[in-house]
Amino acid sequence: MMPFDIDVPYRMRPNMRPLGENEPITYQDKDYDYYISEKKKIMAQAYGNNWNMHLRAKVLNYLQCHTMKEAITKYQEDFVVWAPDLKGQLSIQMASVCFPSGWDPLEKVNKSFAEIHEPVADNKTIMAAADHIAKMITEKGPFVRSVWSIANSPDLNRHPAVKKPWTNEGLESMWYRAERQVTVPLGNAAIFFIRTYVTPLLSVDIKRIRESINSMTDEILEYKSLHHVAKVLNENS
């Protein structure tokens, strides 16, 4: 199922669609053992102020697990839980994210959909729909979307503490990194699965990638750390 859709021109948008009838919510494939072994090295999880026993029981029941540790090591996907905070605002109340793509999961707990996406470049479309999306994913779905970028490492974990800055990497040292994101409603809450994929950039459609990156604004290139990638791609066109 790689690669995912690559927009030309590139657009920063929610791009959510209903999950197809025959599309699974989560996967267990040939890479399962590797993903789980990498998760066990990290075991990342964070709890918000409103993480209560009722919500915890609801999530574990859906995941068919007895403990959060079991849930983390059962699924290849990372996941976060959206639920009302102490003021009734939908926000991330729990995060089990072992493989973040350049962000710190601890910083997102207790933040609303709008607050989380406020730093995103060219975010007008997303911000305009933020409240609607937050409510919709608790009432309807499942929904699926995908996002992608280019990384200088095949490592699944790209936490800011371990993420390496770009230096002089060529095409052979670049990796196409994509996330398949699925939301599932849980009453007044929702669970948000994140499945990360990494493959050598040279194994995907370089021309399509170049055209998409060349259509990005400077703000998006900066946000996604793609200025060096754009330079190398155009030097090798």
pLDDT digits (tens, 9 = 90+) for 43-75: 887 766 555 788 889 999 999 999 989 999 999
pLDDT digits (tens, 9 = 90+) for 3-18: 688 999 998 888 899 9
Task: Return the structure tokens found at 117.
Answer: 């996406």
DSSP, res 20: P
DSSP letter string, 150-212: EES---S-B-TTTPPPP-S--GGG-EEEEEEEEEEEETTEEEEEEEEEEEEGGGS-HHHHHHH
Compute the distance between CA of residue 196 and CA of residue 36 in angstroms, rounded to an integer. 12
- Which pLDDT band holds residue 122 (cuts at 50, 70, 90)? low
pLDDT value at 80 more than 80: yes
- Does pTM surpass 0.85? yes
- CA 223 → CA 9, 136, 158, distances in Å? 17, 27, 15
- Are residues 95 and 80 in contact, defined by beta-carbon separation less than 8 angstroms? yes
Amino acid at 81: V
**Which residues does 39 contact at the CB level (< 8 Å), separation at least 6?**
72, 73, 98, 99
Length in residues, the chain: 237
